[in-house]
Structure 1
Amino acid sequence: MPYPDKLLAADEEVVRHLHPHWLTVFWPVVAALLVVGGASFGAALVPGGPEQGVVRLVIAAVALVLLAVFVLAPLLRWRTTHYVITTHRLLFRAGILVRHGRDLGLSRITDVSYRQTLWERLISSGTLTIESAGDGGPTVLRRIPDSDGVQQLLNHMVEEDADRRAMESAGYLSDGWAHETARF
């Protein structure tokens, strides 16, 4: 699903749109299987009688609550967390009911580093730490897929943005013509 164009400037393009690593949803899927299996097994064990329907409804209700807490919430959290790299900035958005986010202009990024444990190296995931000019402190993005590739991409995008700004400040338009030649 592409990132909403309404959040982008006219000359801004999405370079990469990421969610946390897919293994983030591994344990919620395991929990779903366990809850459904346990509830089915529990409902099958209920002895016959007048309370059988009520007991099975209670088991189903408990299973639904467990599914909501341990499966639905983490899946929604994963789905509503966005890491977007554009030609001008890095956007971070997260949250289901209450949203929060941060936009970092590429020109304000001073350092991008990544860290991977042995397990994260095996699954191609990691943590990005982005230092920026200002007093906001570092932005730490966890469970980033291909964190070393994203770090290299961000460094490349920061350099491209600096070159673009240098060209603009030197008097060049985006089409490559100098302002001075535009007067003739």
Structure 2
Amino acid sequence: MALPDHHLTQGERRIRSFQPHWKRLIVPFLALVLIVAASGAGLFLIPGDWEFALYGRIAVIAVALILLTVWAFVPYLQWKNTGYVLTTHRFTISTGVLNKSTDEIPMTKVNTVSSDQTFAERMLGCGTLTVESAGEKGQIELKDIPHIQDVRAELFRLVEDASDGEVDGR
């Protein structure tokens, strides 16, 4: 997904790969449904005997395509092209559709791992993961992480193993 196997270092093992939680797609999906319904209604309501009916229908379709692109397709592509990879040596965050941005946090540089969940996020099983490191960025806040408690526990275990000089509990 975000980190191909051939980019792993010797002895490094992938623990978990995941994307942001699907809840990020709720608003784009609702936008898709509303835009399709509104454009369908607009096409239906344009009178057939109107002399500019063809231009009106073309305008409705053009506006619908623009809105679908901005409010549904682009957010979907952003969600699909955001990936998180947790390995025995690092935590990688990869984002971007046309341009790719990758942040890597070595396990030895992680100071604090914490999670935060609202009531709705607890119901959905996701949350915000905050990773504080000794690097340039200091603190990285990752929103909508699925299975937040499992990810936090694995990340914390890997940080502890890295600070003890162990790999995979050895």
* TM-score scaled by length of structure 2: 0.90
Alignment CA distance shift 1:83-1:2 (3 Å): closer
CA distance in 2, matches of 1:136, 1:69: 30
Residue 10, structure 1, aligned to residue 13, structure 2: no
Alignment CA distance shift 1:47-1:108 (3 Å): same
Tell me by how many angstroms 1:100 deviates: 1.9
Alignment CA distance shift 1:138-1:95 (3 Å): same
Match of 2:10, SS state, is: coil
Would the aligned equivalents of 1:3 and 1:14 in 2 still touch at CA under 8 Å?
no
Instruction: Write the mapping of 1:51-66 to structure 2, written as runs, cut at 5 A.
Output: 51-66=52-67
Instruction: Write the mapping of 1:120-139 to structure 2, written as runs, cut at 5 A.
Output: 120-139=121-140
In structure 2, the partner of 1:147 is 148
CA distance in 2, matches of 1:105, 1:55: 56
Superposition RMSD on alpha carbons, in Å? 1.8
Tell me by how many angstroms 1:3 deviates: 4.1
Which amino acid in structure 2 is aligned with residue 16 of structure 1? R
CA distance in 2, matches of 1:111, 1:95: 26
Structure 1 stretch displaced more, 144-153 or 127-136:
127-136
Q: Gapped runs of 5+ residues in structure 2?
A: none
Structure with the bigger RCO (C-alpha within 8 Å, sep 6+) is 2
In structure 2, the partner of 1:38 is 38
Match of 1:127, SS state, is: strand
Which amino acid in structure 2 is aligned with residue 98 of structure 1? N
CA distance in 1, matches of 2:69, 2:135: 40
Which amino acid in structure 2 is aligned with residue 125 of structure 1? C
Instruction: Write the mapping of 1:1-184 to structure 2, written as runs, cut at 5 A.
Output: 3-49=3-49, 50-163=51-164, 165=165
Would the aligned equivalents of 2:2 and 2:83 in 1 still touch at CA under 8 Å?
no
CA distance in 2, matches of 1:51, 1:3: 53
Q: Which has the larger radius of gyration?
A: 1
Percent sequence identity over matched residues?
36
Residue by residue over 1:119-163, the C-alpha shift from the partner in whole angstroms, topping out at 9 and shown as x without a partner, is: 111111111111112342111111111112211110111122334
